[in-house]
A and B are shown apart, each in its own frame.
Chain A
Amino acid sequence: MTMQIADSVSLSTPDAKARLHAVAARENLRTEPKAVRIAIISVAVLFLTVFVVLPLVVVFARAFSKGIMAYLAALSEPEALAAIRLTLLVAAISVGLNLVFGLVAAWAIAKFEFRGKTFLITLIDLPFSVSPVISGLVFVLLFGAQGYFGGWLRDHNIQILFAVPGIALATTFVTFPFVARALIPLMQEQGTQEEEAAISLGASGLQTFFRVTLPNIKWGVLYGVLLCNARAMGEFGAVSVVSGHIRGETNTMPLLVEILYNEYQFVAAFAIASLLAMLALITLIAKTILERQLDEGHDARDH
């Protein structure tokens, strides 16, 4: 009873009222009227639905438009299987190469101080800003019939263009920055103390790397490999320029999507496309999970 009175008394005092108003006003200072909020959310959701959700849905809708049997039949065509095999092979080669490069480059860049570091990172980033078509073109200019090494390659009977090596090279070019870019900031943030301690306790360089550094950056490595792999399997422009489109031999999955689509074999085209779309979705889910892991690691180091 007394409490209630006390409450009503304190609420009715001008001071407390002012304080309540102040809290509400503070909130109001940082947000918009409800109608504006709803309008902004609607525009954002509508835009993302039209431009991102619908294209994804249409891939699966068209892939299954003639039923699941037609879908499975399209995927078990020898041509489709050959494309899947080639895509896996090329991705394995380029992810493997870029993984080793990424680890080596991140060690040099993150663990040591030297001049021109920013410039070196810019050079590593270059492939991100080169058109995929140009990424393919540069290898045609090097290894094509009229290319700088074209004659020598022909004399020695080495096939690079219109064959697996060319596709793997172009893919490696486009996916070059992924692993290094995932690792450099992470390793810079971790500093060199743990490694220095290991070395001073008598560990060799390689032991230090495998026992100290690698466990610390394992989520970062996985993150880089994940993004690198998604791009490697999905690359179209660069591979299209160097592949020569030899059916059953140099067609990767994205190239086969193009060919089947242009031949009006829509179920087959979208069936292959649906596999690539699933790869993209799985990559995104895994990426979200990994980002959480990396954030936790970050917080653990901060505190």
Chain B
Amino acid sequence: MSAIATRRRTLPGFGLTMGLTLSWLSIIILIPLAGLFLRTLELSPEQFWAILSSRRTLNALRVSFGLAFAAACVNLVMGSIIVWALVRYRFPGRRLFDAIVDVPFALPTAVAGVALTSLFAEKGWLGAPLAALGIKVAFTPLGIFIAMIFIGIPFVVRTVQPVLQDLDPEIEEAAGSLGASRWQTIIRVILPSLGPALLTGLALAFARAVGEYGSVIFIAGNLPNVSEIAPLLIVIRLSEFRYADATAIAVVMLIVSFVIIFAVNRLQRWAQDRIPVH
């Protein structure tokens, strides 16, 4: 017994570092977040419901969640293609393209916002040819969609890439030599192995796009009920000193994010249990 105790106590500082960690975590993260929930409790259920069911709130939530989901789906498909090209093929500039996948992570969102707007505005490099085709991107919901695709792409690529890299080549060879066509091997063998990573990437890209503010508001047009995202509505309500409204919208978004993290955690654990570690 004393052997265990001394073994546990050989390194000093557990009490001190754990105490500091918990205090600092509480001051910076937990107390501020708890304040948000406390504020919501001050509202009566009727008030809370009235705020959430107002037309403008509903539309803002619909724009944010709907477009974020659509963008995450595009990211899932395009991200898979990018991962496949980066991991399986050799082409000039591959390492460079691999590195620039992280640009949306690293580029400040306001910079991304003004850059995308300038690119897709009617006189922009891409906006002009699109306008000639009759497609208006900037200052429409399509612009929000584009910005959300931009911001989400690294999430899918960086979640799926390591899993595809570590995939055992013998499984594919076995499938092929047993007579499966290449397409069948991809659908029946590779895709299921990537499944948890793909879902995680989708969830992370979605969560990021739902809460995204900086890269979206410049290109969005911000027309209430049409191209107004929920985070912007929070900012507007705050500037009008309608704190209750801002808080209620924020709480809904926060709960959704928490549900997503929880789901992602379960997904990761499930994936780890399913695939034996070699």
B205 at the A/B interface (Cβ < 8 Å)? no
**Pairwise interchain contact B10-A51, C-beta atoms closer than 8 A:** no
A160 at the interface (CB under 8 A from B): no
Q: Is the CB of B100 within 8 A of A32?
A: no
Instruction: Give Cα distance in the complex from A261 to B116, angstroms.
Output: 13
B89 touches A195 (CB 8 A): no
Complex interface: chain B residues within 8 A of A205 (CB): 11-13
Q: What's the least CB distance linking A126 to chain B, in Å? A: 6
Contact (Cβ within 8 A) B257 A129: yes
User: Known: A40-B85, A48-B97, A122-B265. Is A137-B111 also a contact (CB below 8 A)?
Assistant: no
Q: Is the interface of B mostly helix, strand, loop or mixed?
A: helix
User: In the bound complex, what is the Cα–Cα distance between A31 and B182 (angstroms)?
Assistant: 8
The answer to the question of B150 belonging to the interface, with a C-beta cut-off of 8 Å to chain A, is yes
CA distance A146 to B245 in the complex (A): 14
In the bound complex, do residue B115 and residue A29 qualify as a contact, i.e. CB atoms below 8 Å apart? no
Known: A40-B84, A104-B17, A196-B11. A54 touches B243 (CB 8 A): no
Inter-chain CA distance A125–B204, complex, in Å, is 13
Q: Are A44 and B81 in contact (CB under 8 A)?
A: yes
Q: Which of B95-130 contact A (CB under 8 A)?
A: 97, 99-104, 106-112, 114-116, 118-119, 124-126
Query: Taking the complex as formed, is A214 at the interface, i.e. its CB lies under 8 A from any CB of chain B?
Result: no
* Contact stretch, chosen from B31-39, B50-58, B193-201: B31-39
Q: Which of B29, B78, B99, B111 has the most CB of A within 10 A?
A: B111
Which of A122, A148, A192, A254 gathers the greatest number of chain B CB atoms within 10 Å?
A254
Cα of A260 to Cα of B260 in the assembled complex, Å? 36
Please, which residue of chain B has its CB at the minimum distance from the CB of A238?
Answer: B213
Q: Is A162 an interface residue (CB 8 A)?
A: no
Chain B residues whose C-beta falls within 8 Å of the C-beta of A131 in the assembled complex = 210-213, 231, 250, 253-254, 257
Query: Does chain B have a CB within 8 A of A151?
Result: no
Q: Give the docked Cα–Cα distance between A51 and B33 (Å).
A: 34
- Known A48-B82, A52-B101, A123-B29; judge A31-B235 contact (CB<8 A): no
Contact present for B82 and A47 (CB under 8 Å): yes
Total of A-B residue pairs, C-beta within 8 Å: 280
A277 close to chain B: CB less than 8 A: yes
- Interfacial chain B residues near A85, Cβ < 8 Å: none
Q: How many residues of A contact B (CB 8 A)?
A: 99
Chain B residues whose C-beta falls within 8 Å of the C-beta of A241 in the assembled complex: 235, 238
Asked if B149 CB lies within 8 Å of chain A CBs, one says yes
Return B256 CB to nearest CB of chain A, in Å. 10
| Contact flag A52-B103 (CB < 8 Å), given A108-B14, A130-B254, A241-B235 | yes
Give the 5 A-B residue pairs with the shortest CB-CB distance, closest first: A234-B108, A131-B211, A29-B176, A237-B213, A236-B214
B contacts, CB < 8 Å to A: 8, 10-14, 17-18, 20-21, 24-25, 28-33, 35-36, 38-39, 78, 81-82, 84-86, 88-89, 91, 93, 97, 99-104, 106-112, 114-116, 118-119, 124-126, 146, 149-150, 153, 169, 172-173, 175-177, 182, 185, 207, 210-214, 218, 231-232, 234-235, 238, 241, 243, 246-247, 250, 253-254, 257-258, 260-261, 265
Can you list 27 A-B pairs with a CB-CB distance of less than 8 A? A29-B185, A30-B169, A30-B173, A40-B84, A53-B100, A58-B118, A101-B24, A109-B21, A123-B30, A129-B261, A132-B213, A134-B231, A134-B253, A137-B250, A138-B36, A142-B35, A147-B35, A176-B28, A176-B29, A195-B11, A205-B12, A254-B108, A254-B110, A254-B111, A273-B110, A280-B107, A288-B99
